[in-house]
Structure 1
């Protein structure tokens, strides 16, 4: 398993909000506890809201707190989208200011970190290319709200999907979809979408294909 895939698997395991011991995470992903410690450091440095420490356990929190502000994940998402957009501009002064501001935000985030963030803060390995997915977020949001099907190119394969929910994990965006091409649920990393097109076709909830069905299935795998 590639490390980026393992990190995505760890996010999915930790997102239930309960504490998970490093030894249990290691057994589930087939690596050592020491690798899990490094993975937790990397996820925290990537902006994923990891809470916990060695010997106690880890979990993903639902919100990020910045003194003296309390920011929801959606508000934090909007902030990082704006910073990332400005950082990629041709104005060096603004670009540098965005990078500096992102570093300041990272410095006061409450995650337990063993090392300081690197680079511009919002583009740290292993999700350094997450900004590529920004262009797709408006279409994904619209399709989720209006319940419209999407045609997307993912891993060089064309898929027809029903977008059910967008999730944000510290600069990494995922979308829960029912894929009509593979006839199953998928959690798609938005940065891995090559192209996206909203289709005129609408969809309605069907037994076994709804967000509720996905959530029940995911919970069943944890029990």
Structure 2
């Protein structure tokens, strides 16, 4: 049995809300006790509300559990936009529930551990900032598809950029761009854009200015870091 199938079977067993001994779970899915302990840790880390411990037993504590979902970036955007609206509502109970749900989503969203949080200092995504960033995403996606340049204002600085790729880091949306003012690649946080306008001018793929070139540069940088620094500050 594949591990993913076994984990789903364990969730189905535990979702009745009763206490299940690890030994019984091991027999039910035909694995060792050690494997059951690891599986329980995996389920808990994935956001399944598991309570219990070794030697006592385990149960799922949530009133409602959902099967695994595969979401597109657009679906994630829609979900976070809805949470942003509810989180800013006057109903304290609903606002708190929205924040708790966002925390659960953040816990299981894929994230590049070696890059995003450390490089950009991302913190928990405030709802007001989320709403501010989401307003720009439809036009940014439009510009990406049509290869249209964007005029952005970041911290009072107007910039003309070529949008190359939108990324989601579990808390914040970012966009890889080629900045015509700086003549270089940049990664901007969408929530920090104070003004955005889609320009009528189009751009074509040019050597040294494409998303493939950006990723190649990142890969080269990672390789150099792995082999050791070329200089010290």
TM-score bucket of the superposed structures, by smaller chain: 0.5 to 0.7
Contact 2:106–2:171, Cα closer than 8 Å, also in 1: no
Contact 1:161–1:179, Cα closer than 8 Å, also in 2: yes
1:68 maps to what in 2? 67
CA distances 1:12-70 after superposition (whole Å, capped 9, x unpaired):
xxxxxxxxxxxxxxxxxxxxxxxxxxxxxxxxxxxxxxxxxxxxxxxxxxxxxx96213
Which of the numbers 120, 123, 126 marks the counterpart of 1:125? Answer: 123
> For residues 155-170 of structure 1, what are the structure 2 equivalents within 5 Å?
155-170=155-170
CA distances 1:59-108 after superposition (whole Å, capped 9, x unpaired):
xxxxxxx962133461334322221123224555654443344355457x
1:210 maps to what in 2? 210
**Which whole-Å CA distance do the structure 1 matches of 2:207 and 2:125 have between them?**
34
Contact 1:144–1:164, Cα closer than 8 Å, also in 2: yes
Contact 2:177–2:186, Cα closer than 8 Å, also in 1: yes
1:134 maps to what in 2? 134
RMSD: 2.7
SS of residue paired to 1:70? coil
> Shift of the alpha carbon at 1:110?
7.9
Contact 2:77–2:134, Cα closer than 8 Å, also in 1: no
**Which whole-Å CA distance do the structure 1 matches of 2:182 and 2:169 have between them?**
25
SS of residue paired to 1:143? helix
Q: Which runs of 5+ in 1 are unaligned?
A: 1-65, 112-123
Q: Which runs of 5+ in 2 are unaligned?
A: 1-64, 111-121, 224-233
Contact 2:86–2:95, Cα closer than 8 Å, also in 1: yes
SS of residue paired to 1:140? helix
> For residues 43-54 of structure 1, what are the structure 2 equivalents within 5 Å?
none
Alignment TM-score, normalising by the size of structure 2: 0.54
**Runs of 4 or more consecutive aligned structure 1 residues displaced over 6 Å after TM superposition:** none
> Shift of the alpha carbon at 1:130?
3.8
SS of residue paired to 2:163? strand
Larger Rg over CA atoms:
2
Cα pair distance change 1:106/1:187, threshold 3 Å: closer
